[in-house]
């Protein structure tokens, strides 16, 4: 029997969830919900979805729904995630898990009360097939001891003072913009791929544009429309950050993130330097991975389902030379979650768990704190 799924929140990311879930054969997308009922109705009609709800509670009262995706803004994550867990339905939340680490700890405690509920957070870049391939090779020891980890995530959608997003508002997004939004993805993928845990950080955050022009009417994320009807708003959250870090297994590294760099759409990459060789990967060329060697030729490996490891194979679907992309990683992430449920919770949780995501929230807070204090901060165990 297919797993019956509902989605709460019909904005940009909610529609991406719709498209990915519809590609998973073991799932049936049967309901959407949004406080903007007309928007939810419009999306349901466009995608042939049977049920439309105007509230979270209406959806959670539907006994035919097995799992719910939370695609709402950050400030609603704690409340809605807790409701979903307490309803006994499985949870797939957008990141961040919560607005702050105190909320994350509370949600972890709630989850322990409902062990039958499975929960995940959408760090979708993990499920790019070549990311899984690099992870598999590192686990087999092919890179040797991991020594240095570097990378970046650059975008340009907040580079003008007329660009505006709720992610800039602490009361809606929390006390971070680009670290919580895109730096979280970078930290998650590095910890997942290497098996290392970031345990010490030194952050430097910058509010690039201290005053922005907020449109009087809400606009869709990533749209270039400029409104003549606006108010000037002081900005506190960062659009740039650089972070030095150390891991629990002795590696050191640095990454930077920004949403104000012209010409960068979703320029996300990392390089992992081991004692034997290096691996590199970039999201905008995600069908390729780089291998660096001393005393031998460097190489670029092109994704080939016939040659990649068994660990990566479930997350690739097209033949070599047929590019897979962002939507495919989205689909792969959901597939990993629902396949785990479909198989009776057997095998490895390859997706980001609540515990993984809570630690990312903690790291984000510590980076912001480090920047304010201008010092290294160790991440202590609870």
Beta bridge partners of 121: 93, 352
Indicate the pLDDT class of residue 237, thresholds 50, 70 and 90: very high
Average pLDDT of the residues in 226-244: 92
Q: Report all structural domains of the chain as residue ranges with CATH numbers, in order of start.
A: 3-124 (3.40.50.720), 128-319+358-373 (3.30.360.10)
Indicate the pLDDT class of residue 283, thresholds 50, 70 and 90: very high
Instruction: Give CA–CA dist 9/263, Å, rounded.
Output: 29
Tens digits of per-residue pLDDT, 295-325? 999 999 999 999 999 999 999 999 999 999 9
Tens digits of per-residue pLDDT, 21-52? 999 999 999 999 999 999 999 999 999 999 99
Longest alpha-carbon distance in the chain: 63
Taking CA atoms, 180 is separated from 183, 241, 294, 357, 364, in Å, by: 6, 11, 36, 11, 6
- Alpha-carbon torsion (380, 180, 174, 81), positive or negative: negative
> Is the Cβ–Cβ distance between 267 and 153 less than 8 Å?
yes
Beta bridge partners of 62: none
Residues 6+ away with beta carbon under 8 Å from 146: 138, 194, 196, 247, 249, 251, 272, 273, 274
**Distance in angstroms between the alpha carbons of the first and the last residue of the chain:** 40
Instruction: Give CA–CA dist 114/111, Å, rounded.
Output: 5
Average pLDDT of the residues in 216-242: 82
Name the packing angle between helices 77-86 and 101-113 (round to 10°). 0
User: Coil, helix or strand for 274?
Assistant: strand
Work out the mean pLDDT of the chain and round it to a whole number: 96
> Is the Cβ–Cβ distance between 46 and 40 less than 8 Å?
no
Predicted pLDDT at 190: 99
Indicate the pLDDT class of residue 216, thresholds 50, 70 and 90: confident
Instruction: Give CA–CA dist 9/370, Å, rounded.
Output: 33
Query: Which tokens in the block code for residue 302?
Result: 């092109």
Instruction: Report the predicted TM-score, pTM, of the whole model to 2 decimal places.
Output: 0.95
Instruction: Give CA–CA dist 303/141, Å, rounded.
Output: 21
Instruction: Give CA–CA dist 289/308, Å, rounded.
Output: 12
Tens digits of per-residue pLDDT, 46-86? 999 999 999 999 999 999 999 999 999 999 999 999 999 99
Name the packing angle between helices 184-194 and 354-373 (round to 10°). 120
Query: Which tokens in the block code for residue 22?
Result: 């519809």
Query: Which tokens in the block code for residue 140?
Result: 């087999």
pLDDT over 70, % of the chain: 97
Predicted pLDDT at 223: 60
Q: Is 45 exposed, middle or buried (0-12, 13-18, 19+ CB in 10 A)?
A: exposed
């Amino acid at each position: 029997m297919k797993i019956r799924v509902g989605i709460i929140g019909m904005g940009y990311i909610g529609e991406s969830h719709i498209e990915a879930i519809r590609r998973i054969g073991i799932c049936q997308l049967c309901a959407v919900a949004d406080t903007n009922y007309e928007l939810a109705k419009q999306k349901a009609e466009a995608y042939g979805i049977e049920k439309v709800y105007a509230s979270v509670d209406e959806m959670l009262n539907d006994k035919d729904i097995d799992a719910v995706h939370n695609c709402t803004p950050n400030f609603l994550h704690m409340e809605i995630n807790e409701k979903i867990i307490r309803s006994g339905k499985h949870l797939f939340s957008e990141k961040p898990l919560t607005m702050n680490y105190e909320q994350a700890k509370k949600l972890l405690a709630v989850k322990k009360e409902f062990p039958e509920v499975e929960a995940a957070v959408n760090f979708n870049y993990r499920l790019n097939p070549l990311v899984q391939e690099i992870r598999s090779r590192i686990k087999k020891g092919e890179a040797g001891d991991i020594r240095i980890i570097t990378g970046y995530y650059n975008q340009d959608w907040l580079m003008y003072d007329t660009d505006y997003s709720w992610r800039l508002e602490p009361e809606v997004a929390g006390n971070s913009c680009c670290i919580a939004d895109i730096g979280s993805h970078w930290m998650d993928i590095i910890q997942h791929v290497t098996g290392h845990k970031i345990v010490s950080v030194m952050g430097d955050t910058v509010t690039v544009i201290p005053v922005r022009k907020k449109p009087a009417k809400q606009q869709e994320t990533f749209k270039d429309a400029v409104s003549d009807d606006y108010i000037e708003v002081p900005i506190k959250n960062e659009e740039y950050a650089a972070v030095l870090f150390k891991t629990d297994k002795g590696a050191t590294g640095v990454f930077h993130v920004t949403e104000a760099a012209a010409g960068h759409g979703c320029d996300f990459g990392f390089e992992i330097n081991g004692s034997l060789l290096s691996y590199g990967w970039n999201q905008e060329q995600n069908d390729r991975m780089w291998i660096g060697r001393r005393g031998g030729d460097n190489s670029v490996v092109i994704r080939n389902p016939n040659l990649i490891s068994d660990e990566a194979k479930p997350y690739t679907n097209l033949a070599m030379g047929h590019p897979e992309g962002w939507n495919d990683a989205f689909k792969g992430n959901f597939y990993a979650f629902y396949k785990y449920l479909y198989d009776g919770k057997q095998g490895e949780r390859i997706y980001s768990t609540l515990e993984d995501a809570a630690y990312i929230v903690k790291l984000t807070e510590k980076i912001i704190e480090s920047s304010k204090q201008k010092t290294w901060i160790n991440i202590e165990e609870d």
